[in-house]
Amino acid sequence: MSLGRRFLSFGGAAPDTASFLVIAGGGGGGSNYGGGGGGGGLRTSYGSVSGGGSAPESLTLVSGTTYTISVGGGGAIGGRFNGYATGAQGTSSSIIGSGLNITSEGGGYGGVGGGNQEPGGSGGSGGGAAAYSGGSRNGGPAAANQGYAGASAAANSSQFEQGGGGGAGGLGSEGTSGSVTTEGIGGVGGAGLTTDITGSSVTYAGGGNGARNSTNPNNGGGGYSGTSPSSIGQRDGTPNTGSGGRGGSNPGQAELDYGAGGSGIVVLRILTSEYTGIYTGSPALGASGSDTILTFTGSGTYTA
């Protein structure tokens, strides 16, 4: 991504120039031949694009103001739907201070499959849907300028289909139908976005794959082939990237094979000449060129 910045003053004392990245927790995947979880909402002022294809946002920190940082967790796996334990929506991440509120929404959950066919949940990026036996369900919608929608699902008679969750850089894709004994391919999760705001190039907020797919993890949870639990492919979304969890196969082992969403992250990149060193929490401190970088993986504050 390019290194351009745009700034907006919120008034008060002399401002400090800064860049930010705010990514919410990714959504958990659906069980029982379920859809993939959506990536957490992505908002940034660093580089050329933000989540969902929007223009870069702007940030100026006002001297003397304390900004509260919150980092969202990934959508946990636990009983949410009709007796099937399955992933939940991720939780939001934010930077909040006087005159400023930058909040990204958690990724949408993947829909539960089988006879409990369900649409994907809404969120920063939407979760993928799951369908069964001729039914059809819609993918979850995405928050404006934070990500993309999850894929819909429309199964043939007596078959399953599972959509991929949306990502910050693209839509989730639809899967191809299969039965318990006939291979189907889960939809691939939407692409994440790559930035080097931390000093290293990292891809964030990819969508989770739908169930029964063994390739293309897209920085979210990878599904797998077959009808029994397998170690093939990543199950959970990658921590501190806001990636979605994969959908799970095999209704007899629904509690074992679908994935939780990855936790979020908040980054502040500040000109070292303006960095105050006043913060709480335990951010990782780094430097790149003329900038100091604070990377929060948990709650904290920064005072400009």
Could you list the mean pLDDT of each consecutive 10-residue stretch along the chain, which spans 304 residues? 31 66 96 91 91 84 96 85 77 95 97 88 96 92 97 86 93 80 76 94 93 55 47 76 86 62 97 96 97 98 97
**DSSP for residue 88:** -
- Locate 262 and state its tokens: 């990855």
Cα 253 to Cα 18, 138, 249, 290: the distances in Å are 48, 25, 8, 52
Spatial distance between the Cα atoms of 240 and 110, rounded to a whole number of angstroms: 19
Spatial distance between the Cα atoms of 222 and 232, rounded to a whole number of angstroms: 8
What is the per-residue pLDDT for 5?
34
* Strand pairing class (153-154; 136-137): antiparallel
What is the per-residue pLDDT for 201?
93
Taking Cα atoms as reference points, which of 149, 131, 178, 136 lies closest to residue 37?
149
Cα 42 to Cα 80, 131, 146: the distances in Å are 25, 28, 5
Asked whether the beta carbons of 296 and 267 are under 8 A apart, the reply is yes
Identify the helix (H) or strand (E) that includes residue 257: helix 254-257
Query: What residues contact 37, with CB distance under 8 A and at least 6 apart?
Result: 26, 27, 28, 29, 30, 75, 87, 90, 107, 108, 109, 110, 127, 128, 165, 207, 208, 220, 221, 237, 244, 245, 246, 247, 259, 261
What is the per-residue pLDDT for 80?
60
What is the per-residue pLDDT for 78?
74
What is the per-residue pLDDT for 292?
97
Give me the residue label for tokens 């913060």: 279
What is the per-residue pLDDT for 81?
59
